[in-house]
Structure 1
Amino acid sequence: MPFASSMLRHLRRRRLLGAGTAGLIAALATAFGPPPAPAGDQLATEADALDVDAMRLSFDEDFSTLDVSAWGPGTRWIAHTPWSGDFGGARFANPGERSPFRIEDGTLRVEAKRDPEGDWQSGLLASVDPDGNGFSQQYGYFEMRAQLPEGPGVWPAFWLIGKDRSKATAEIDVIEFYGDKPDGYSSVVHVWHRDGRHYSRFHRNAVFVEASPGAFHTYGVKVDRNWIRFYFDREFIWKTETQPEHRQPLYILVNLALVDGPTRDATPDPSYMIVDHVRAYRLD
């Protein structure tokens, strides 16, 4: 029941669920059923081609420096999810003496390691603070260029969240990579309704058969009123219909998490995610 396990991790991550009890994964499988067939597995059309030159750069983080604080305000990034919903098997640490972030040769190194007390810590960046200050954008192309760590337990991600979470949380997981499944990564579109309903479209991108996750690649998504389109190295992969909840400003999150489970015991210590840039473009 891998889909139910993934649902459990997501519910914990959104702070919609606590630590869990016996049989919970089975209950989730019963409640949600099998994973939906990938929406948007349509053949690529001319409209799906990515033309970055026709867009306007609106957010450009090249990591020559890093402007981050624990919670803001006034910094480009904060080191936690704005709703205080940290997740996974590692604590997201604040910048400071034990900072998980380091700038090296114009790239950001995010480090997951055990701290002196023996607990795992790692890093997350979000582009808005708890009051909504910071970068967000309705529609456009969002991209990360990064090297991914391999090995059991590592769980790097690049994702977007809608600013208005009053009735539902709109989420786009551009990339979720599980280090013990190094042949590819997952892209998922979610709507988490406050009344418990959940919309999800999932696609497995088996791109690392010839390419390597440890090399630099770009992971992108283009959002407009009608479609959410996903790209690997700026080549179209798949698309799914834009939901009403995604027609709003979206902000950016980048993190190196650990899966909260037995694989964490075999996670390489330390593990690194290297990010070259994070960018956003306006469609106009």
Structure 2
Amino acid sequence: MVPKVLILIGGLVANAPAFAEDNLAAAPPQLALRTTRDAASESCRRLDAMDPMQFSVVSLHRTFHDDFNQHPLTSGRWVPHYAGGAAWPEARYWGGDGSELKRQTKYNGEQQIYVDPRYSGRAATPLGLDPFKVKDGVLSIVASRTPPALKSVLFNNEYVSGILTTQSSFSQKYGYFEIRAKLPVGTGVWPAFWMLADDGGWPPEIDVLEGRGQRPGDMVMTTHWRSPTTGHVESCGFDFQLPDAPADFHDYGILWEQDRLIYLIDRKPVSDIKVPVGFEDPMYMIVNLAMGAKYFGGVGVVDGESPDMVAFEIDRVSAYQIDPYQRDRSTENAAPLKVNLVGDTDAR
């Protein structure tokens, strides 16, 4: 995708009083987050210089949680490929000519194919390739160079890697969506946590987190939508600098309210934007490690300097829904907040 408008401005997240949980490693059943209460802007804006008095608190309850104490494909919460429409035969996800269409994205310069133990590529039987490693409650999505003997079987992709999506198992309209992760680095390394509409349309797209592998500690958070007047895809977002992001776990999230989208790092608001047109449907979550990019700066194309093996480490992925009754932001009276929930409503 080539964004038509993309604001990319680096900066450090300013310290501010925290309303959220002090223990960021936890995914508690209940959560309170800061949210802006002034009028949302059509363009994204940074929040690190905002007066703390301009924030209020929203309470949420957990609706989805995976802390990866087991292989991600055993829980039924994830599938290891892009999902398709009802007309796409189930068998096509697992092998044969054409199966790569749901397991790679070539036009933007990616050079990986997403595999899992069931996937056979052009072979007659599953190849048994598993990019998902679990140890001590941490999931590693591992990208590695394709074995030469399997290059033609895997449609001549330079790397094998992994993707996990919740399409068909969990989607939600409004709420808070969060990943706790370390960001891998290296030429061509492109980790991401993002969301798409469950109806299969595009845009809208919420990029909660995209790492720039050639710029350690640099990540971008971006909103994408289609302009109803021009028909063009518009994008607005910011880069944020977190020098220890490759070495330490941090929380990256998006709070989707009725009137705005608020991006958070370690549960502190860092940017927001008025909800654009086209965000009517529930959205599902995607986490992946791509290799190579033509249009996304700071990643680079795959070359001899790219790592032979690299891992995107993920401690957990969680989602929360806004509690149905919130304290009104302008009065002391309790007021109902309408929400639309689709998917798993059990705290896990």
Per the normalisation by structure 2, the TM-score is 0.64
Q: Distance in 1 between matches of 2:177 and 2:53?
A: 20
Would you say the 8 A contact 1:49–1:235 is kept in 2? Answer: no
Q: How far is 1:184 from its partner?
A: 1.6
Would you say the 8 A contact 1:41–1:238 is kept in 2? Answer: yes
Q: Distance in 1 between matches of 2:132 and 2:292?
A: 20
Match of 1:245? 278
User: Are 1:93 and 2:126 counterparts?
Assistant: no
For 2:205, which of 166, 171, 175 is the aligned residue? 171
Offset from partner CA, 1:74-96 (integer Å, 9 cap, x none):
92111112143732221111234
Match of 1:157? 192
**Pairwise mapping of residues 1-284 of structure 1 onto structure 2 (< 5 A)?**
7-8=1-2, 32=4, 35-36=6-7, 39-42=44-47, 43=50, 45=52, 48=55, 54-68=59-73, 75-83=76-84, 84=102, 86-87=104-105, 88-96=110-118, 97-117=128-148, 119-128=158-167, 133-166=168-201, 168-192=202-226, 197-208=232-243, 211-260=244-293, 263-265=301-303, 266-284=305-323
Would you say the 8 A contact 1:146–1:276 is kept in 2? Answer: yes
Would you say the 8 A contact 2:253–2:263 is kept in 1? Answer: yes
Q: How far is 1:116 from its partner?
A: 1.4
Offset from partner CA, 1:174-206 (integer Å, 9 cap, x none):
011111012421111012579952121121112
Seq. identity, %: 29
Q: Distance in 1 between matches of 2:55 and 2:171?
A: 23
Q: Distance in 1 between matches of 2:137 and 2:57?
A: 26
Would you say the 8 A contact 2:7–2:238 is kept in 1? Answer: no
- Stretches of structure 1 that go unaligned for 5 or more consecutive residues are 1-6, 11-31
Letter in 2 for 1:264: V
Would you say the 8 A contact 2:103–2:115 is kept in 1? Answer: no
Q: Distance in 1 between matches of 2:220 and 2:51?
A: 19
Offset from partner CA, 1:139-158 (integer Å, 9 cap, x none):
00000001111111100000
Q: How far is 1:212 from its partner?
A: 3.3
Q: How far is 1:115 from its partner?
A: 2.2
Q: Distance in 1 between matches of 2:212 and 2:177?
A: 21
Change (3 A) 1:79 1:63: same
Letter in 1 for 2:306: T
Q: Distance in 2 between matches of 1:271 and 1:246?
A: 34
**RMSD of Structure 2 on Structure 1 (CA):** 2.5
Change (3 A) 1:248 1:50: farther
Bigger Rg over Cα: 2
Change (3 A) 1:231 1:36: closer
Would you say the 8 A contact 2:187–2:307 is kept in 1? Answer: yes
Secondary structure in 2 matching 1:245: coil
Letter in 1 for 2:111: G
Q: How many residues align?
A: 242
Letter in 2 for 1:107: V
Q: Distance in 2 between matches of 1:44 and 1:200?
A: 26
Would you say the 8 A contact 1:170–1:245 is kept in 2? Answer: yes
Q: Distance in 1 between matches of 2:184 and 2:288?
A: 12
Q: Distance in 1 between matches of 2:147 and 2:210?
A: 28
Q: Distance in 2 between matches of 1:121 and 1:47?
A: 46
Q: Distance in 2 between matches of 1:220 and 1:264?
A: 28
Would you say the 8 A contact 1:139–1:224 is kept in 2? Answer: yes
Letter in 2 for 1:263: V
Change (3 A) 1:213 1:187: same
Match of 2:345? none
Secondary structure in 2 matching 1:55: strand
Change (3 A) 1:257 1:49: farther
Change (3 A) 1:193 1:162: farther
Change (3 A) 1:233 1:205: same
Q: Distance in 1 between matches of 2:245 and 2:117?
A: 30
- Stretches of structure 2 that go unaligned for 5 or more consecutive residues are 9-42, 85-101, 119-127, 152-157, 295-299, 324-348
Would you say the 8 A contact 1:155–1:258 is kept in 2? Answer: yes
Letter in 2 for 1:180: Q
